[in-house]
Structure 1
Amino acid sequence: MKHLRSLSYVAEIARSGSIRRAAEVLHIAPSALTRQVQELEYELGTPIFERLAQGMRLNAAGELLVRHIRDQLADMERVRSQIADLSGVRRGHVALACSQAFVNQVVPEEVELYRGHFPQVTFTVQVRDHVQAVAALAAFEADLALVLQPPPSSDLQVLFACRQPVCAMMRAGHALAREAGPVRLRDCLAHPLALPDRSLALRHHLDRALARTGAPPPAMESGSLEFLRELVLREEVVSFQVPSGIPRDPRLCARPIDARDLDTMAMILGQFRGRMLPVAAAKFADQLASSLNRRYGAAEAGDPAGPAAPRPAPA
């Protein structure tokens, strides 16, 4: 265990980029942290960091070592979870990275359900969009990622996949709310638009369709979907969201964009490929995948989201 602690110190230095910042996070003296690095480099017979004026950066040997360290720490967390299971006490921790579209209903409901069965399991939920969520898996900062339209990545192992339509969202008294069913994108453009900014996958998906229509600049842009929902309730603007991101609020109305104008979006639950998840995370992944399948249905064969890939059952 002491050896693992020393390895975790190296991983934190790599993440923080300096001895000083890592020491603050770890609550140990910078001099003690420096000694740990020096001793490890002596054992390995090679430096693992480049010492720069602005901090510390892993060299090639260090990159190999940190990859090994992350595997070791993840394996230890999994063993701890399995030992807890042996005693009949369900403990552990689940780290989830998810798009904003899932923080209003889906993730809180699933966490509540899981903790109702296993109240001693703790959670960290990081709100990160498609690119950042996949990066969090690769850095072992998250066990699972639930995202919209993630970029192609060989590191992403898909546990569940489906499609969601993009909906025009407006307040209940809006002119577009007088009818039900799909709405054409050109009808939305007759009103001021409140769009997610380009940090979000939803905006990139919309931009391709809007570019074909010669849409005017949006009246409002924001990286916060919660802000855009609140703005919709206050002004005669139209915003866009997938169904999982639209709260159950009678003041809101949502109509799917006609399929002739805009494709559906891929919704992916995934993990880092090849990683054996801790017991708590594996059990939560099973629950979440099952629930998402009931809510939205799995992707069909040949779907661009890709079929849900098989995952080794937790030990």
Structure 2
Amino acid sequence: MALRNMRIWRYIDEVARVGSVRQAASRLNVTPSALLRRIQDVEYDLNAAVFERHASGVQLTAAGEVLIHWIRRQNADLRRVYSQIEELSGLQLGEIRIACSQAVARSFIIKEILEFQKLHPKVRFHITVSDHHKALQSLIAYESDVVLIFRPSLAAEFQTILSVGQGLVAIMAADHPLAAQETLRLRDCSLYDVALPDRSFGGREIIEDRLASSSAKFNVVLETNSFDMLADYVMSNHAITFQIDIGALGWRGDPRFAVRPLHPADNPYGPLVLGQLKGRTLPLAAAKFAEQLSRRLEDLRTLPMREDAPAA
């Protein structure tokens, strides 16, 4: 396929993403009529409708689903070709697409991006913060090169690059009564109000699993998909929230907060997984960044404390 013909594939991909010819045309800076004609040309060549029109926009037909998967695979392959060409003169350009858990977005990923761009300043990053289910979907749709997610669901399309253990920690205001303890049990935390991430997050799933077999019950006074909001809330009162260890890196250095690990007796551990689409050869820039992440994650692996450590 000639490279000049990739434009129409981009057009179709954009329409599929937004579900509207008019909105896609605005984003692509073309007229809706021109965009519609290009789609109709493709439908004529395929002898099949790509989109089904309805009152609120358009959606892919079965034939369109087949075509869009091919388009996204072609785009991913083309980016890999560009990457290999760039390799001939060193890694000068490129784009890295990452889907990651909110827990690692601020405290970990940003720092790693800055380190990478010191050596490769012209490489661009596209970061999508999402839960583990959507992150896996983005791999399958070729919207992400790699993902870094906590407790991913098992999927045949997923290939693990590296998995490191992460423990849960409790986060509270520095003057909280429990801040004096080195480790905490979930039953200790149940004596205070609790603010939790919503149920789409892997850390929340661990807490729910542990509480199901425990006599401890939480009084959940706030539930949100924003970790920043959780931090702001517990800083202002005696409530407690929870985070995986790597997600608490920024808060550990903030004197307003106390970060305390949960005791191994509560089994507060889960895998933080760096992965990619199985069978896909990553573009050079993404492959090099994945190598950098792997080295750093090995240093941040959370190991269970000794079984003879004193219980809180």
* TM-score of the pair, normalised by structure 1: 0.89
Matched, 1:189 2:190: yes
Kindly provide the amino acid, as one letter, of the partner of residue 198 in structure 1: R
Q: Tell me how far apart the structure 1 counterparts of residues 145 and 91 of structure 2 sit (CA, whole Å).
A: 21
Q: Tell me how far apart the structure 2 counterparts of residues 280 and 88 of structure 1 sit (CA, whole Å).
A: 10
Q: How many residues align?
A: 297
Q: Which residue of structure 1 lines up, in the alignment, with residue 267 of structure 2?
A: 262
Q: Which residue of structure 1 lines up, in the alignment, with residue 26 of structure 2?
A: 24
Q: Tell me how far apart the structure 2 counterparts of residues 237 and 37 of structure 1 sit (CA, whole Å).
A: 55
Offset, 1:100: 1.2
Q: Tell me how far apart the structure 1 counterparts of residues 142 and 230 of structure 2 sit (CA, whole Å).
A: 31
Q: Tell me how far apart the structure 2 counterparts of residues 95 and 123 of structure 1 sit (CA, whole Å).
A: 6
Offset, 1:114: 0.4
Q: Tell me how far apart the structure 1 counterparts of residues 124 and 4 of structure 2 sit (CA, whole Å).
A: 24
In the TM superposition, 1:213-252 aligns within 5 A as 213-246=215-248, 247=250, 248-252=253-257
Offset, 1:201: 2.2
Offset, 1:46: 2.0
Kindly provide the amino acid, as one letter, of the partner of residue 167 in structure 2: P
Listed as ranges, the gaps of 5+ residues in structure 1 are 299-315
- Conservation of the 8 A alpha-carbon contact between 1:169 and 1:254: yes
Kindly provide the amino acid, as one letter, of the partner of residue 132 in structure 2: H
Which deviates the most, 27-36 or 288-297? 288-297
Listed as ranges, the gaps of 5+ residues in structure 2 are 304-312
Matched, 1:59 2:64: no
Offset, 1:210: 2.4
Kindly provide the amino acid, as one letter, of the partner of residue 215 in structure 1: K
Question: Measured at CA, do residues 127 and 72 of structure 1 come closer, stay the same or move farther in structure 2, by a change above 3 Å?
Answer: same
Q: Which residue of structure 2 lines up, in the alignment, with residue 312 of structure 1?
A: none
Q: Tell me how far apart the structure 2 counterparts of residues 179 and 214 of structure 1 sit (CA, whole Å).
A: 19
Q: Which residue of structure 1 lines up, in the alignment, with residue 52 of structure 2?
A: 50
Q: Which residue of structure 1 lines up, in the alignment, with residue 79 of structure 2?
A: 77
Q: Tell me how far apart the structure 1 counterparts of residues 35 and 215 of structure 2 sit (CA, whole Å).
A: 58
Kindly provide the amino acid, as one letter, of the partner of residue 200 in structure 1: F
In the TM superposition, 1:1-315 aligns within 5 A as 1-180=3-182, 182-211=183-212, 212-246=214-248, 247=250, 248-296=253-301
Q: Tell me how far apart the structure 2 counterparts of residues 269 and 89 of structure 1 sit (CA, whole Å).
A: 22
Offset, 1:267: 0.4
1:151 is paired with a residue whose SS is coil
- Conservation of the 8 A alpha-carbon contact between 1:148 and 1:268: yes
- Conservation of the 8 A alpha-carbon contact between 2:246 and 2:300: no
Q: Tell me how far apart the structure 1 counterparts of residues 258 and 185 of structure 2 sit (CA, whole Å).
A: 15
1:177-219 CA distances to partner (integer Å, 9 max, x unpaired)?
1121x32111111111111122322222211222333514312
Offset, 1:274: 2.3
1:67-119 CA distances to partner (integer Å, 9 max, x unpaired)?
11111111111111222221235210111111111123210111011001100
- Conservation of the 8 A alpha-carbon contact between 1:85 and 1:91: no
Q: Tell me how far apart the structure 1 counterparts of residues 9 and 106 of structure 2 sit (CA, whole Å).
A: 37
Offset, 1:297: 7.0
- Conservation of the 8 A alpha-carbon contact between 2:186 and 2:266: yes
Q: Tell me how far apart the structure 1 counterparts of residues 244 and 90 of structure 2 sit (CA, whole Å).
A: 40
Q: Which residue of structure 1 lines up, in the alignment, with residue 309 of structure 2?
A: none
> Between the two proteins, what is the percent identity of the paired residues?
39
Runs of 4+ in 1 over 3 A off after TM superposition: none
- Conservation of the 8 A alpha-carbon contact between 1:196 and 1:221: yes
Offset, 1:6: 1.0
1:251-302 CA distances to partner (integer Å, 9 max, x unpaired)?
322222222223302101111222222211111111111111122179xxxx
1:102-157 CA distances to partner (integer Å, 9 max, x unpaired)?
12321011101100110000111111111121122222222111111112212221
* TM-score of the pair, normalised by structure 2: 0.90
Question: Measured at CA, do residues 233 and 297 of structure 1 come closer, stay the same or move farther in structure 2, by a change above 3 Å?
Answer: closer
